[in-house]
């Protein structure tokens, strides 16, 4: 059976945008996106718009609208964020079986790894995000946890058939040992789940005109605040300590941070590693994935994964980062 996204042709994209009242100039540019499909669409006598088509059956309408609502809250409190456009009284639209949302086009550049001045400003931005995120919970979006990102990911990988037979025992063994240690650290670490970005890598914090703004809240969910912080750090332990200090100086101007959550950095990194492999396995029926990730399933990839999980297990047994 063909994948639903195979029917999402440029003509259908234009038809969808025009179905809610915009007049396109027939220019469509596909942007880099795998989970969903994102296009820049030219509009007659106006700036181009960004059209995001949601992956069928991933989120419920309620969950998507909850993401939009969170984004609108942030914008209302003047937190720099790229919010969906409300058109004809709605932010979520449907055409030919696809749900889609339009955004204004906002370019920018990602932060420079290790730039202390930028980390201070990113800390301020994330502090503002979390100050609002902590005011109430999501009702329709899942939380980041050891089961869904860890155990469920392992089950998906083991059932997928992608791990070469010769590496399967080693992968399963180290993954189970890693999850056991992750559970121990989680249980021993006090933390509070709040509404957060969820996928806060540097590419989702864009700088334009010297102002950072947040993009792509598609993965927003409940989880510990440190999940949105640790991916801002780069380099060795000593470099990360200095970067963490700058990040926290900015962050705590707007929101309190419990330093005990720093012990969750390596468990969260472990869950992200396992979730990534499971994500590729779950999406393999989408033709974009075999084309873009041809190495998935190779001996080399899974050998590297075994090594990465072993290194991550060792990292979990080291002293966590601490604030000065």
Six-digit token string for 54: 């949601």
The CA radius of gyration of the chain, in Å to the nearest whole number, is: 21
Does 216 show up as a binding residue in the annotation? yes
Residue carrying the six token digits 């809240």: 217
What's the rounded Cα separation, in Å, for the pair 18 and 197? 31
The answer to whether residue 216 is catalytic is yes
Distance, CA of 194 to CA of 176 (rounded, Å): 28
The residue annotated as part of the active site, out of 199, 218, 228, 286, is: 199
- What number of CA atoms fall less than 13 Å from residue 250's CA on the CB side? 19
88 is in an annotated binding site: no
SS3 33: coil
- Which of 185, 187, 269, 184 has the alpha carbon at shortest distance from 226? 269
Neighbours of 56 (CB within 10 A): 13
- Which ranges of the chain does DSSP label H, i.e. alpha helix? 10-19, 61-76, 116-133, 146, 152-160, 168-188, 237-251, 265-282, 288-292, 299-316
CB atoms within 10 A of CB 129: 29
The residue annotated as part of the active site, out of 15, 25, 45, 216, is 216
Q: Which two tokens stand for residue 93?
A: 């639209």
Strands lying side by side in the sheet with 93-95: 24-30, 37-43, 49-53, 98-104, 93-95
32-39 own/partner pairs: CB under 8 Å, 24+ apart: 34/283, 34/286, 34/288, 34/289, 34/292, 35/218, 35/283, 36/218, 37/5, 37/8, 39/10, 39/13
- Annotation: binding site for Mg(2+): 204, 216
- Annotation: binding site: 204, 216
Q: Which residues are catalytic?
A: 199, 216
């Amino acid at each position: 059976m063909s994948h639903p996204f195979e029917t999402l042709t440029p003509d259908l994209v234009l038809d969808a945008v025009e179905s809610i009242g915009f007049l396109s100039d027939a220019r469509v540019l596909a942007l880099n996106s795998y989970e969903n499909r994102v296009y820049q669409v030219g509009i007659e006598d106006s700036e181009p718009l960004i059209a995001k088509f949601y992956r069928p059956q991933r989120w419920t309408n309620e969950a998507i609208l909850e993401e939009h609502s969170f984004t609108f809250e942030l914008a209302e409190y003047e937190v720099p964020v790229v919010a969906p456009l409300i058109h004809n009284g709605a932010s979520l639209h449907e055409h030919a079986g696809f749900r889609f949302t339009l955004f204004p086009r906002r370019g920018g550049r990602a932060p420079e790894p290790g730039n202390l001045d930028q980390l201070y400003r990113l800390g301020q931005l994330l502090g503002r995000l979390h100050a609002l995120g902590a005011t109430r919970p999501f009702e329709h979006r899942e939380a980041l946890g050891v089961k869904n990102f860890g155990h469920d990911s392992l089950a998906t990988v083991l059932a997928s058939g992608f791990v070469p037979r010769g590496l399967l025992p080693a992968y399963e063994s180290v993954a189970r040992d890693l999850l056991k240690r992750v559970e121990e650290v989680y249980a021993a670490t006090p933390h509070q789940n709040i509404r957060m970005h969820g996928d806060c890598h540097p590419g989702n914090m864009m700088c334009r005109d010297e102002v950072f703004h947040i993009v792509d809240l598609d993965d927003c969910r409940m989880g510990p605040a440190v999940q949105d912080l640790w991916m801002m750090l780069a380099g060795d332990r000593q470099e990360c300590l200095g970067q963490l200090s700058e990040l926290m100086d900015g962050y705590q101007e707007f929101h309190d941070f419990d330093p005990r959550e720093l012990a969750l950095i390596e468990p969260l990194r472990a869950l992200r590693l396992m979730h990534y492999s499971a994500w590729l396995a779950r999406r393999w029926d989408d033709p974009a994935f075999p084309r873009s990730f041809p190495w998935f399933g190779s001996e080399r990839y899974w050998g590297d994964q075994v090594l990465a999980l072993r290194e991550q297990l060792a990292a979990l047994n080291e002293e966590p980062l601490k604030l000065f």
